[in-house]
Amino acid sequence: SQQGEEDPQALSIQEGENATMNCSYKTSINNLQWYRQNSGRGLVHLILIRSNEREKHSGRLRVTLDTSKKSSSLLITASRAADTASYFCATVSETSGSRLTFGEGTQLTVNP
Amino acid sequence: DVKVTQSSRYLVKRTGEKVFLECVQDMDHENMFWYRQDPGLGLRLIYFSYDVKMKEKGDIPEGYSVSREKKERFSLILESASTNQTSMYLCASLGRPQNSPLHFGNGTRLTVT
């Protein structure tokens, strides 16, 4: 069954604005990862946050994790048209070993 | 950089055909995965393998089998293709430590007519 659920399903913003995507999950996790997928391509890893971490940064990306609420958010600051893509969260549960469970993704459109 | 290569970007097959989807990774990763991706359903795990000749069922293994004879190659087999197996198939690999990201191939879009 799907563990992560992204919200919103689709987001459309203007270049320069910030984009925030949320992910909720159901079971206890070892880590949570965010991936990006350009249309018709494979997924590319963006950032991994461990269950004992609360916030992580990578360039224009900021990820937060709230294990008490079983939720995470991905913030993309100063968005660009090239950020247009689908974004997925994926979780590794405490009992799943190396298996990742993906949500359905958020389709982000950044308008020039 | 890790490279995961899927042999075909697009494939069209007929109902009832036996279909092989091939995936090769060049980083000596132990773990390999096959997902399918459908609109509104996200990525669903079909099978995975954590070592040569080892395989585990994922969430939707019905109608599929896999083969891992060599560490670098993980094949997905559709024994008798059906139209409901029309989908995007994504292969991924994972090395150690297990708190590592997946590396994906570019996907194979399979159409079964």
Write down how long chain B is. Answer: 113
**Scanning every residue of chain B, which has its alpha carbon at the shortest distance from the alpha carbon of A45?**
B101
Tokens of B14: 């007929």
pLDDT of residue B2: 66
Q: Which of B41, B42, B50 is closest, CB to CB, to A98?
A: B50
Residue A88 · residue A21 · CB < 8 Å: no
Q: Using 50, 70 and 90 to split pLDDT, how confident is the model at A2?
A: very low
- Chain A positions in Cβ-Cβ contact with residue B55 (cut-off 8 Å): none
Strand bridging mode A19-24 / A71-76: antiparallel
Q: Express each pLDDT in B82-96 by its tens digit.
A: 999 999 999 999 887
B-proximal residues of A, 55-94, CB under 8 Å: 88, 90, 92
Tokens of A22: 């949320």
Task: Measure CA B51 to chain center.
Answer: 15
Higher pLDDT, A27 or B76: B76
b (16+ CB within 10 A) / e for A56-84: eeeeebbbbbeeeebbbbbebeebeeebb
pLDDT of residue B41: 86
- Chain A positions in Cβ-Cβ contact with residue B110 (cut-off 8 Å): none
Q: Express each pLDDT in B33-67 by its tens digit.
A: 999 999 888 899 999 999 998 999 999 999 999 99
Q: Which residue has the tokens 């409901």?
A: B84
